[in-house]
Structure 1
Amino acid sequence: MDQLLFPTDPAKEHLIDEGCFIVEIFNQKTSGALSIAQARVESGSKTEPHRLRDMQEWYYILEGQGQMHIDQKTFGIRKGDVVYIPANAVQWVEQSGTDDLLFLCICKPGWTAEHYENASS
């Protein structure tokens, strides 16, 4: 990889069907090793239950607080926490404070739409 800097454009934040706003930070399509995105869940909102097939994911919480749901487990999350989401686990997050929940999503391998599966009943 010759490129050493990957500028991020916050103006490219967009709402996705899952129910949160995303800014893609890094997704080296050619290597597929990992991807990084910033996600934002607005006050009083939650994402749709979903799973990432054959993909591990980590959240690093930058701001706010909420409730994380992974399969049958639910726990509180807040600024500074790291959450590990195993491949194929049903997951969703809900914002539970007054401020938006802002976090980094790190996926391995890098995120592609083919891995995403809606798990809503």
Structure 2
Amino acid sequence: MEIVRLSEQLPYVAPDRAVARQIAAPGNSRLTTHSIAHIIIPAGGEVKPHYHRACEEVYHVVSGGGRMKLDGKEAEISQGDTVVILPGERHSISAPPDRDLVMIVTCVPAWSAEDQCFD
């Protein structure tokens, strides 16, 4: 049995201040084809517009809320909402100024910096 403890995963703090910890991914588990991460976008933070060449990405909001932009459309999202993002779809997400946005993010194939393209 494999158990990956989130508390033991080193955080990656992105230039936009988002904090990511791998829940399970090829680098910290037996997974080979997908990744699951815990992401915190701090109050007032925004992930810059980007797209992925190959990966399908799913954002599931655990707490807080924010504003999702996906291929020219915008919507408010909140706890319990899930956003499906297909390869090539430009997207960004932001947290409101008064609270953090906490998400679980899955990627198939597994997330890689080489697959992520910023505008």
- Please confirm whether the aligned pair reaches a TM-score higher than 0.5, indicating the same fold: yes
Change in Cα spacing, 1:18 to 1:56, as seen in structure 2 (3 Å) is farther
Residue number in structure 1 paired with 2:71: 71
State the shift of 1:52 in Å. Answer: 1.1
RMSD: 1.8
Shift of 1:19: 4.1
Unpaired runs of at least 5, structure 2: none
Q: Do the aligned partners of 1:60 and 1:83 also contact (CA within 8 Å) in 2?
A: yes
Q: Is the 8 A contact 1:71 1:91 kept in 2?
A: yes
Q: Structure 1: how far apart are the matches of 2:114 and 2:77?
A: 28
Q: Which letter maps to 2:35?
A: S
Aligned residues: 117
Partner SS, residue 117 of structure 2: strand
* d(CA) in 2 for partners of 1:32, 1:53: 18
Opposite residue 113 of structure 1, the aligned amino acid is A
Query: What runs of 5+ residues in structure 1 fail to find an aligned partner?
Result: none
Contact preservation (8 Å) 1:41, 1:102: yes
How far off its partner does 1:89 sit?
A: 0.9
- d(CA) in 2 for partners of 1:105, 1:90: 16
Residue pair 2:62, 2:103 contacting (<8 A) in 1 also: yes
Question: TM (normalized to structure 2)?
Answer: 0.88
Q: Equivalent of 1:22, from 20, 23, 26?
A: 20
Aligned twin of 1:39: 39
The equivalent of 2:92 in structure 1 is 92
4+ long deviations beyond 6 Å: none
Secondary structure of 2:6's match? coil
| 1:63 to partner: Cα distance | 0.7
Q: Percent identity?
A: 23
Q: TM-score, normalised by structure 1?
A: 0.86
